[in-house]
Amino acid sequence: MSQHYFNKILIANRGEIACRVIRTARKLGISTVAVYSDADKNALHVSMADEAIHIGGAPSRDSYLVYERVIDAAKKTGAEAIHPGYGFLSENAEFCKACKDNGIVFIGPPVAAIEAMGSKSAAKTIMEKAAVPLVPGYHGDDQSRDVLKQAADDMGYPVLLKAVAGGGGKGMRQVWSESEFDEALAAAKREANNSFGNDDMLVEKYLTQPRHVEIQVFCDQHGNAVYLFERDCSVQRRHQKVIEEAPAPGMTEALRTAMGAAAIRSAQAINYEGAGTVEFLLDSDGSFYFMEMNTRLQVEHPVTEMITRQDLVEWQLRVAAGEVLPATQQALSLTGHAFEARIYAEDPDNDFLPATGSLSFLQPPQNSTHVRVDTGVLQGDEVSVYYDPMIAKLIVWDENRDKALQRLTKALKEYRISGITTNIDFLYNLANSQPFRDADLDTGFIEKHHEAIFHAGAADLEKELPLASLYLILEQQQQARKKRAQSHDANSPWFDANGWRLNEAPGHRFQLQIHQQVYTVVAEQLGTGSNSRYAITVNGKTVLAQGQLQGTELSATIDGHQLRASVAAYEGSYSLYTQHSALSFSEVKPDLGDTDTGTDSGGLNAPMNGTMVALLVEADAAVKKDDALLVMEAMKMEHTIRAPADGKVIEFYYQAGQLVDGGAELVNFEVVE
């Protein structure tokens, strides 16, 4: 094989991973072919590639998952190899076999390796024979409810139900008590069947404070294998990773060597080739257990690239072309520390509900030796209901964890996205939380530290609400000055923003919505002119505040405490960033009689476009508050709609399998007083 490995490759994926692969291929002088659906006609990966082939409708089942069309596109364009990225067809053994049958190189492991790891229960058996430690659990063929439940009862709760064919957190449920088992099993089997066409389950003992540590392995076609150290992926929501880092905090050389050796045994047990990730649960006593092996490149691979200074996509291309591994184990070294934060279109305040819409303003931080942004979208692009709502991956590096964490928080503060709800403020608060700074990590991190991360406590609001109010006052004055400067009547009182009130001291009153709650803030102006101070009262507590606003940068003094903040604003919604926290808020405008004041009919509405999966109660059924009524699927996730109060289900408006528009009324529900 020549030094260019391949002359042309096709990328059977979309979004940021397709763009990522194209960048490395371009660096190596390899031509690229993109594939795209109806929804991705104008996508970034399409414009970046040398060629692009349309392969079907917007739903992935009509395009990116139809491997025959992908192979036809490769043959039509003369692509010698296909890079599957991650997700979609990346771990599909039939696709891998079809590539081989058509004389196309699959840039990934052989069919047998994918098949071996494709079943979690079969993988456990293989790992047991390879002397890789396993979590206690049931991995048997008998899938009856009674057998699964008996296994859970014998193990002791909590347990974890996992789809045998699962991945990405799909078909997985924690069960904390015997009474929850049946509902959790039904939900996990339903989600697994929808995602993988296979609802077989395994049951594992659920470790209550484990860390999720994974080892990057690489094998070539000549029997060589290395591990490129570890990543800590403990911080998760819905079993999906939020912030990853490398190396894992507190990792000893002895433990790293032991986990690396176990990962290589795992790979060699299935004659692996290419990039793979062996995922372990690491307990607080230093014991670790095999969880699963992902037979593909991982979303979080950039943190490994940052600490090893290796291009893992280039490694994939070299190995697929038959070359030996680019480095031996002894030649690999670990330098510094890296974080990856996944920027999602989602609402953390609403149980991380995925969001759709247009990226009307998009300004990522500048790429540098310390900051890297992997993305597949541009300003003006739509985040659609059809695909995963990840907008970008923000990756940072520095010489140690503390410095890298400073880089991360600074870059998050500089990331500007408007037009759609994102998790940036959530990530900023998470990264700034004391437990995260202390690396007190486990897979229940977000739930355990919810109040600290979401800054929902009264003490936090008492600090942040005066700042938000001061910003709004100064922003009003800033806008008034601009209008006055552009007016023919500079002395018009309509350009004053001094809070004038008849027979009372000047003042301002704001209704600020934070975390779905509305807070009243009263600010009384003390003095006049640019040095005015304000007595700001929140929840009965008054502070003295003054400050200056230069563009989006706020300099403030609150009760003698000087501090700085920056603010991102878009159509009445604001994000205020201080050194240690981010506060998202919006101003609730006075009701001037133009809003709908009709009474709630008792209906429940779809949170977004999706598909009705299951109706969980019968029409005319009496239900209690928080009882599960129905399940919708949207953006690859299930959403359970629950009763808002004690009441009665009068009628369902949709049946299982039907498409539902966002905002549509789902059920006629009668509240019982």
Active site residues: 296
Edge-to-edge order in the sheet of strand 610-615: 637-642, 628-634, 610-615, 659-660
Strands 211-219 and 225-237: antiparallel
Spatial separation of the C-alpha atoms in residues 654 and 563, rounded to whole Å:
53
**Residue closest to 6 by CA, chosen among 78, 70, 88:** 78
Round to whole Å and give the CA distance between 23 and 305.
Answer: 14
Alpha carbon distances (Å) from 110 to 36, 274, 565: 26, 9, 53
| DSSP code of residue 140 | -
Of residues 339, 331, 325, 416, the one with CA closest to residue 371:
339
Per DSSP, 324 falls in state: P
478: its two tokens: 């800033």
Instruction: Return the amino acid letter for 383.
Output: V
Partnered with residue 114 across adjacent β-strands are none
Residue 101 structure tokens: 């049958």
Strand partners of residue 31:
8
Q: One-letter amino acid identity for 528?
A: T
- In contact, 201 and 147? CB cutoff 8 Å: no
| Distance of alpha carbon 488 from alpha carbon 480, whole angstroms | 14
Contacts 24+ apart (CB under 8 A), 39-42: 39/382, 39/384, 39/386, 39/387, 40/14, 42/381
Longest dimension (CA), the chain: 88
Exposure pattern of 30-48 as b/e (b: 16+ CB <10 Å)? bbbbbbbbebbeebbbbeb
* 555-569 exposure pattern, b = at least 16 Cβ within 10 A, e = fewer: ebebeeeeeebebbe
Residue 204 pairs in a beta bridge with: 137, 160
Output the CA–CA distances (angstroms, integers) from residue 148 to 162, 186, 187, 194, in the order listed.
Answer: 11, 12, 14, 20
3-state SS, one letter per residue, for 460-508: HHHHHHHHHHHHHHHHHHHHHHHHHHHCCCCCCHHHCCCCCECCECCEE
Nearest to 116 by CA among 320, 305, 292: 292
Handedness of CA 343, 349, 352, 357 (dihedral sign): negative
In sequence order, what E strands does 1-49 have? 8-11, 31-37
The dihedrals phi and psi of 661, each to the nearest 5 degrees, come to -80, 145
